[in-house]
A = this chain, B = another copy of it.
Amino acid sequence: MIHQEETTLDTRGRGTYELTGTVQRIVAGSGVRTGLCHLFLRHTSASLILCENADPAVRTDLETFMARTAPDGDPAYTHTAEGPDDMPAHIRSVLTQNDLNLPVRDGVCALGTWQGVFLWEHRTAPHRRSVVVTVTGD
């Protein structure tokens, strides 16, 4: 059994946006009880991450970490035509992930208690982001 659909999210710029509810609804609608749910972000300046979902300070600190690790406007960048936040966005994307696979068990994604699925927008401006969701199994 394969169910595939594309979902979009309009971001308000840099930051994290929880997708857990959307993903669980798609899995429920797919009819798959045991299998896998694959998420694929069709962009190279944003990420999909699994992150602690209880304290928003975790995600604030992740931004702080990335601002130090891959700062905007670093003079070492040569790809600068699309703005000071574009090359750091590509680096942050490569350091994290664009696709995630989640196990489906008893008709839901078997996430840990403190695990949420987040889209991490790395560009400072709002963007429309597309995620292809593919649910397979019995």
Contact = CB atoms under 8 A, between A and B. Distances in A.
A115 interface: yes
Contacts of A17: none
A134 B50 contact: no
Number of this chain's copies in the assembly equals 3
A110 interface: yes
Interface of A: 2, 4, 34-36, 38, 40-45, 49-52, 55, 57-58, 60-62, 64-65, 68-70, 76-79, 81, 87, 90-91, 93-103, 105, 110-115, 130, 132, 134, 136-138
6 contacts: A36-B134, A40-B110, A50-B93, A61-B78, A65-B70, A103-B134
Given A35-B136, A43-B112, 13 more contacts: A4-B103, A4-B105, A42-B112, A44-B50, A55-B79, A57-B78, A60-B79, A61-B78, A65-B70, A65-B91, A94-B96, A103-B134, A136-B137
